[in-house]
Amino acid sequence: MALPFNTLATAVGILSTASSVIALQNGVGKLPVMGYNAWNVFQCNVNESLIIQTAQYMKEYGLLDVGYKYVNLDDCWAMKNRSSTGEVVSDTTRFPDMKNLTDQLHALGFYAGIYSDSGWFTCAGYPGSFMHEEQDALTFQSWGFDFLKYDNCAIPFDDVIREGIVGKYQRMTDALATVAEKTGSTFVFSLCEWGWNQVWLWGASMGHSWRIDGDIGPYWSSIASIINSASFITQATNYYGRNDPDMLEIGNGDLTYEEAKTHFTAWALMKAPLLIGTNLATISSDMLSILKNTEIIAINQDPVYGTSISPFRWGINPDWTSDASSPAQYWSGQSQNGTVIMLINTVDEPADMFFNLTESPWIRAGRQYAVRDLWTHTSNGTAIRNFTAKNVAPHGVAALLLEDAGDEPAGLTPPCAGEAATQCTAEDGTRYY
C-alpha cells in the first residue's frame, strides 16, 4: 500500500539525515578510473556475452595492461519491475546471473561496474534507487560489483524529497558507507548529475568523480564545448575526487584522428576518468593507438600529483572568455617528471603555437628545459625562455613534457623574462623594462 505524500516525505527526511557521512572515505578511487562503458556505442543493446567479449578484446589488445581495469554496465540491465520484496532484478534473458558476470570479469583481471539512478527511474525507464538506496547497494555488493555510476533522471516531486541535488546524492553516499561498514566491500562512486548545482564545489564530499556537463557527442563541437566548461573549474580535481567530462568517444562518429588525439589528451591530462565507449570489435588501429599512449596515460595516473592541468592563456580569446567553439588553448600542470604542457589548436587550419615558458606557474625562471613530445615520443631539443609548437593540426594538440635541464645560458637579455620584466630590478635599484 502506497504511503500518503506527507508520510512519505517524513520518511524521506529521516532517511536523508540519519547517520549522514561527510564523505565517502573508503580508500578506493585515488586515481582516475580507466576502463570501458558500452553506452556510447551500444546503449540498451547489451547482454552478458557482449560485455565478456568486450573484456576479452580489452585483454587481447593490451588495454588491460596499460591500465583499463574497469568494465562497467550502464542503463537497461534490469527488469522493469522490482521483486515482491523490493529488490532490483537483472534482466533474466540478457543478464541472467550477475554474480556469474562479475566472477568472469574478475577472473579476466577486471573490476566490474554497474549503473543506477537517484530518482524513481533510470533515464531509460528502469527502476531507480530512490527510497531503495541501501537495499540496492547491498544487492550490487552481493553481485560482486566494484563501481557504481549514479544518474539523475525521474526526480521526485519537491514535496516528496524535500531535498536538492546534494541531498539526493547524499542518500546513496550514506548507503554505500553503510554497506562498507556491514560487509567490508567498497565502491568507486561516480556521480552523473550533469554539472547541476555546481557539483565541483561538493562532489568530493559524495563520491570519486562527478559529471560537469551534459552528455558528450562524437563530434568536435561537443569536445570543444566540454573543454570550455572544464577550463573554469580545474581546481576541483585532485586525488579521490575529480571533474568528469563524460565517457570517451574515441572511435565513434566523425572525429578525425587529430580531434580524437585532442579529446584523449585533454581528458587524460585533466585527470578525468578514461572510459572507452566504442565497439572494440571494429576499432581501427589508429584509434586503438590513441587509447594506448602510455606517456599520456602516465600523466593521468601520476601517483605524485593528482591535480588537473589548467589554462595559463586562453589564446585566440581574452583570458577567462567562455567560448564553446574555441576553448582555452594554452594549458599546463605538474607531474612527477616535469611540467606538462597542452596546446590546442581550435581553428580550422594548421597553426604555430608560441608561449613563454614562465607563463606557466610551474616553470622556474632562469632555467632551460628539455622538451619531450608525448605523441611523437621524441625529444625535441631544449627550450630557453620560450617554445613554439610548429604546424599544429586543425583541432589538433601538442602535448609536451618539460624537464628541467639546468641554468639557462648566462648573459641573456632582458635579465628577466615574461611578466617579471615589468618589475625587473637590479640590487642597486636600476629597473629594466
Q: Is position 215 annotated as part of the catalytic site?
A: yes
User: Is pLDDT above 60 for 13?
Assistant: no
Task: Tell me the DSSP string of 181-199.
Answer: HHH----EEEE-STTGGGH
The answer on 319 and 280 residing in a single domain is no
Answer whether residue 430 is part of any domain: no
The structural domain count of the chain equals: 2
Claim to verify: residue 214 and residue 325 sit in the same structural domain: no
Residue 326 lies in a domain: yes
Phi, psi for 302 (deg, rounded to 5):
-60, 120
Amino acid, single-letter form, for residue 74: D
Q: What is the CATH number of the domain that holds 394?
A: 2.60.40.1180
pLDDT, mean of residues 326-338: 98
Same domain, 166 and 145: yes
CATH classification of the domain holding 101: 3.20.20.70
- Three cell numbers at 5? 505524500
Residue 239 lies in a domain: yes
pLDDT tens digits, one per residue of 239-271 = 999 999 999 999 999 999 999 999 999 999 999
- Known catalytic membership, residue 213: no
Q: Catalytic pick from 91, 103, 215, 373?
A: 215
Q: Which helix (H) or strand (E) holds 102?
A: helix 98-108
CA of 363: how far to CAs of 73, 312, 333, 341, 371, in Å? 42, 12, 10, 11, 13
> Binning pLDDT at 50, 70 and 90, where does residue 11 land?
very low
Residues 287, 321 share a domain = no
Report the pLDDT averaged over residues 225-229.
98
CA distance 41 to 8: 39
- Predicted local distance difference test score (pLDDT) of residue 418: 84
Do residue 210 and residue 264 come from a single domain? yes
Say which of 117, 151, 213, 302 is annotated catalytic: 151
Domain that holds residue 51: 34-301
CA distance 402 to 32: 23
User: The whole model's pTM is what?
Assistant: 0.93
> Do 121 and 203 share a domain, yes or no?
yes
Give the CA distances from residue 367 to residues 185, 211, 413, in Å, rounded to whole numbers and listed in that order: 49, 39, 14
Q: Are residues 80 and 225 in the same domain?
A: yes
- Check residue 25 and give its pLDDT: 67
Pick from 344, 328, 337: nearest CA to 396: 344
Q: Say which amino acid occupies 317.
A: N
